[in-house]
Structures are given as C-alpha cells and as structure tokens.
Structure 1
Amino acid sequence: MQVTLLGTGDTTGTPTPGCECETCREAVERGVERTRFSVHVHNPRTGESLLVDASPDFRYQFLKNDVDLPDAAVISHVHFDHLDGLGNAYRLLDSLDVYAADETDPKTGESVAGTVARKYDYLDTVTAYPTAPFETVETCGFEVTLVPVDHPPLVCYGLVVEDPETGAKLSLSGDTSYGIPQESLDALADPDLLLADGIVPSSLCEHHPLGGKHEASDGTYRTFGTKHMTREGALALADDLDATETRIVHAAHFYPADEAFEEPIAVDGETYEL
C-alpha cells in the first residue's frame, strides 16, 4: 500500500490566499503547502488507486504529485473541501466509483451518497455507491470501511483501508472532535499509519467562541470548539489507537509559525509504504 498525502490543509489551506500571517509567509519561504484535504492510496499488486476525499485542489494535486488518476473514491462528508473535486472526473476519467455513507443526515435530509449522486448526476462517469457504516466494501484490492465520527452538525465518517494480502492498515480519523464513538475507535485501532485531524494547537481554544471540549486531566483541550481535534487531541487519539505512525492533517494556518512545521504535522506530498 502506497499512501500519498495530496492535501493536508483545512478549508483555506496554507498558505491562505490574501493572508500575510507569519505562518503563511514561512510556508512560502520553505516552499511547502497544505492544500485542501485529500489522500491517494495506490495498490501496487492490482495497479489501482483509491482517492480518499476529492479536494477542490484536485487538478493541482495530481499535476504536482507523481500518482495515477483514481479508479475509485471515498467521500467522508459533504463539506466542499472534501467533495467538490469530484467535478474533475469530467473528461479526465472514463469512470469513477464513489463510495459514501448511506445514512440520512438530519441536517441535510439526505445521505452523503445521496448528495454525491444529486450534485454529480450530470457526470455519467461518476457512480455513487451507498455504503453502510461498518460494512466493509472491496475496491482497488483493498477492504474499505466507513466509521461514524463526530463533526457537528453534519454526519461525517472516518475510514479504514486494509490490504487483505499484506495486512497493511491505514486509518483516517476524518474531520472530527475527540468524541469518536467506541465502536469506531475499535475499527480504527492498531493502524500502521494514522491520519488524524488536528486543526490547531490546544492553546488556541481560548480564541474559539465555544472554547474547547474533551479536557484532559492536565486541562488540555482535545477538541477545538466542537468539530475538530486539536493537535493534542490528535496525539491522544494516536495513543488510544496504538498507531505505529501518526501524521496530523487538516491543519490550519492559525498554527503559530514556530509550531506549524514541527513533527508530526504533515505537509503535502509526503509518501508512505505500508
């Protein structure tokens, strides 16, 4: 299993357009980026590739990275920075099977799979496959399982990708608070690589209108507001799951410049062999 981090940033990316903050300037000086979130998972046994979330930066990400166009995709939720890259299937791909959860979201009145089918009904190349959480599907030679996480007010899902031939396991937290249900934690456990949402350090919770949640015994918040884990929350999740290796993704440019490029916060283009 070959994993390429196509996009490791949040909804505005780093550097953020029009921003002159020290972190964005430092990113330019270092020549690194965190574009909107997306992960490429290649199966060298079958020659197929799975795309996890379709970033609006799809075109740029595939031009910049030496990876194949996807044979299938999984969409974690319907926020634009994870979904809107699907339009790139037009004239680039002969077909794209898209796996997404079949649970109706009380907020939107439709499932993630339903949103994909509705928004991209004009693309004959895109076929949505409604998928039940915790039910494993086989695609690209992998076993893929969606697991519910906590990203109010929308339903959102983490993901487990396993190679049944090698035993390699990739877990993705999805966009989530630290309050992931136990059944999902059980499914995500013991990964070779964990990609964990860690949008900002815990110290910035004081600037969020809702503060922080899931306070540790030392007072550290593991959730920023209600929707995303802090860096500290992501690292705590890694410990909870006994992850062999962890990369923090979906990072915002609000990280202080002297912390923004420290380990284990990922940048675009990182690759891993599992």
Structure 2
Amino acid sequence: MEITLLGTGDTTGTPTVGCDCDTCERSRQLGVERTRFSVHVRNERTGESLLIDASPDFRYQFLREGVDLPDAVLISHVHFDHLDGLGNAYRLLDGVPVYAADETDPQTGESVVETIERKYSYLDAVEPRPATPFETIRTCGLDVTLVPVDHPPLVCYGVAIEDPETGATLSLSGDTSYDIPERSRDALADPDLFLADAIVPASLCDHHPIGGADHDDDGVPRTFGTKHMTREGALDLADELDADETRLVHLAHFYPVEEAFEEPLAVDGERYEL
C-alpha cells in the first residue's frame, strides 16, 4: 500500500483563510499546509486507489499530489469537510462506488450512506454502497472495515485497512474523542501506520467552553470538548493500540507556533509505503 496524506487539517485548514496568527504565518513561510482531511490509498499490486473521505479541497489535493483518481471512496461521516468533495466526481469519475455506513444515526434519522444518496442523487458518477460496521468489505484489492468511534452528536467511523496479500495494515481513528469503544479499539489495533485525530494540544482545553474530558492519571485531558482527541489523547491511544508508526492529523491552526510543526504532527503530502 502507498498512503498519501492529501489533507491533514481540520474544518478550516492551515493556513486558515483570512488568518494571520503565528501558526498560519509560519505555515506560509515553510511552504506547507494542512488542507481539509483526506487520505489516498493506492494498492500497488492491483493499480487501484481508495479515497478515504472526500475533502472540499479534492481538486487542489489531486492536482498538487499527482495521485490517481479513486476507483472507490469511503466516507467516515457526514460533516462537510469529509463529504462535500464528492461533488468533484462530476465529469471526472464514472460510477465510482462510495462506501458508507448503513446504520441509522438517531440525530439525523438516516445512515451515512442514505445521506450521500440524498445529497448526491443528481450525480450519476457516484454509486452509494452500504457498509455494515465491523463487517469487512473487499475493495481495490484491500480488506476495509468501518469501526464505530465517538464524535457526538453524529455517528462517525474509524477505518481499518489490510492488504490480504502482504498483511500490511493501516488504521484511522476518524474524528473521535478518546472514548472509543473497546470492540473498536480491538479492530484498530496493531497497525503498521496509525492516523489519529489530534485537533489541538491538551493545554488548549482551558479555552473550550466545556474544557476537556477523559483525563489521564496526571489530570491531562485526552479529549478536547466532546468531539476530538487532544494530541496527548491521540498519542496515548496510539500506544494502547501498539501502532508501529503514528501520524497526527485533523489538526487545527490553534496549535502554538512552536509546537505546530513538531513530530509527529503531519502535513499534507506525506507518503508512506506499507
């Protein structure tokens, strides 16, 4: 598997439009960026590519990185920064399967795959296909499993991917708090590469209206608010999952500039061979 991090940022990206904070300015100086989240997975054995989440920055990301257009797409949840790039399928793709969870979200009254069917019913280029959480599907020659995580108030899913020929494994936490169910942790465990949501450092929880949650033994919050892991929470989860390598993604421009580009915080364009 060849993994390309197309987008490693949160909903506004880094640099953020109209922002002149130190972190956004440093991003411009370094010539690096974190566009809205998306990951490209190429199966070099079959020549096929799987896109995990369709960023609104789809066009720019594919032009910038020069990767193949996807043969299949997997959507983790219905927030716009993970979904709305599907509109780019028009005139580019032809009947591409778009996999998404089939369980009903109590908040919306429909499943993720049903939301896609409703929002993109005008697009013949995409074919929504239901996927049941914890049930593995085979696409692009890879075994792919949606894994429920914790991103209130909406349902959201992490992803476990394995190459059945080589045994290489990739896990993504998805947008989530640290409070991931045990069964989901088991499904994500022991990856060669782990991409973990780490929106801000724990030190910034003081600025959230409800603070932080899921504190460790030293009182450090591993969840920022209710929806996303802190850097510290993501690294703790990586240790618990026994990940061989971890990259932190879905990063906000609120990271202090002296911390914003330190390891293991990812930037767009990173590539990994598994």
- What TM-score results when the alignment is normalised by the length of structure 1? 1.00
Q: How does 1:227-246 map to 2 (within 5 A)?
A: 227-246=227-246
Secondary structure at the aligned position of 1:233 is classed as helix
1:50 alignment partner AA? L
2:240 alignment partner AA? D
2:160 paired with 1:153: no
2:133 paired with 1:133: yes
Structure 2: runs of 5 or more not aligned: none
Alpha-carbon distance in structure 2 between the residues aligned to 1:70 and 1:198: 26
Alpha-carbon distance in structure 2 between the residues aligned to 1:10 and 1:225: 15
Q: Which residue of 1 aligns with 2:248?
A: 248
Alpha-carbon offset, residue 24 of structure 1: 0.2
Alpha-carbon distance in structure 2 between the residues aligned to 1:117 and 1:127: 8
Q: Which residue of 1 aligns with 2:192?
A: 192
2:9 paired with 1:9: yes
Q: Which residue of 1 aligns with 2:85?
A: 85
Alpha-carbon offset, residue 242 of structure 1: 0.1
Q: Which residue of 1 aligns with 2:53?
A: 53
Secondary structure at the aligned position of 2:154 is classed as coil
2:31 paired with 1:31: yes
Alpha-carbon distance in structure 1 between the residues aligned to 2:21 and 2:108: 35
1:138 alignment partner AA? R
Alpha-carbon distance in structure 2 between the residues aligned to 1:96 and 1:262: 37
More displaced stretch, 91-100 vs 170-179: 91-100
Secondary structure at the aligned position of 1:134 is classed as coil
2:109 alignment partner AA? G
Alpha-carbon distance in structure 2 between the residues aligned to 1:246 and 1:157: 18
Alpha-carbon offset, residue 159 of structure 1: 0.2
* Cα contact 1:96–1:126 (8 A) shared by 2: yes
Q: Which residue of 1 aligns with 2:173?
A: 173
Alpha-carbon offset, residue 125 of structure 1: 1.3
Alpha-carbon distance in structure 1 between the residues aligned to 2:197 and 2:94: 32
Secondary structure at the aligned position of 2:26 is classed as helix
Secondary structure at the aligned position of 1:213 is classed as strand
1:107-159, Cα deviation, whole Å (9 max, x unpaired): 11100000011111101111111111000000000000000000000000000
Alpha-carbon distance in structure 2 between the residues aligned to 1:118 and 1:72: 19
Alpha-carbon offset, residue 95 of structure 1: 2.1
Alpha-carbon distance in structure 1 between the residues aligned to 2:119 and 2:162: 29
Alpha-carbon offset, residue 212 of structure 1: 0.3
Secondary structure at the aligned position of 2:118 is classed as helix
1:156-177, Cα deviation, whole Å (9 max, x unpaired): 0000111000000000000000
Secondary structure at the aligned position of 2:223 is classed as strand
Alpha-carbon distance in structure 1 between the residues aligned to 2:78 and 2:114: 10
Alpha-carbon distance in structure 2 between the residues aligned to 1:82 and 1:59: 14
Alpha-carbon distance in structure 1 between the residues aligned to 2:125 and 2:95: 4
Secondary structure at the aligned position of 2:206 is classed as helix
Q: Which residue of 2 aligns with 1:72?
A: 72
1:74-115, Cα deviation, whole Å (9 max, x unpaired): 000000000000011000112210110001001111000000
CA RMSD of aligned residues (A): 0.4
Alpha-carbon distance in structure 2 between the residues aligned to 1:58 and 1:171: 22
Structure 1: runs of 5 or more not aligned: none
- What TM-score results when the alignment is normalised by the length of structure 2? 1.00
Secondary structure at the aligned position of 2:28 is classed as helix
Alpha-carbon distance in structure 2 between the residues aligned to 1:21 and 1:57: 22
Identity of aligned residues (%): 76
Q: Which residue of 2 aligns with 1:123?
A: 123
Secondary structure at the aligned position of 1:195 is classed as strand
* Cα contact 1:71–1:95 (8 A) shared by 2: no
Alpha-carbon distance in structure 2 between the residues aligned to 1:116 and 1:171: 23
Alpha-carbon offset, residue 66 of structure 1: 2.1
Alpha-carbon distance in structure 1 between the residues aligned to 2:171 and 2:80: 22
Alpha-carbon distance in structure 2 between the residues aligned to 1:121 and 1:95: 12
Alpha-carbon offset, residue 219 of structure 1: 1.0
Please list every run of at least 4 consecutive aligned residues from structure 1 whose deviation after the TM superposition is greater than 2 angstroms.
none
Alpha-carbon distance in structure 2 between the residues aligned to 1:87 and 1:24: 28
2:122 alignment partner AA? Y
More displaced stretch, 192-201 vs 120-129: 120-129
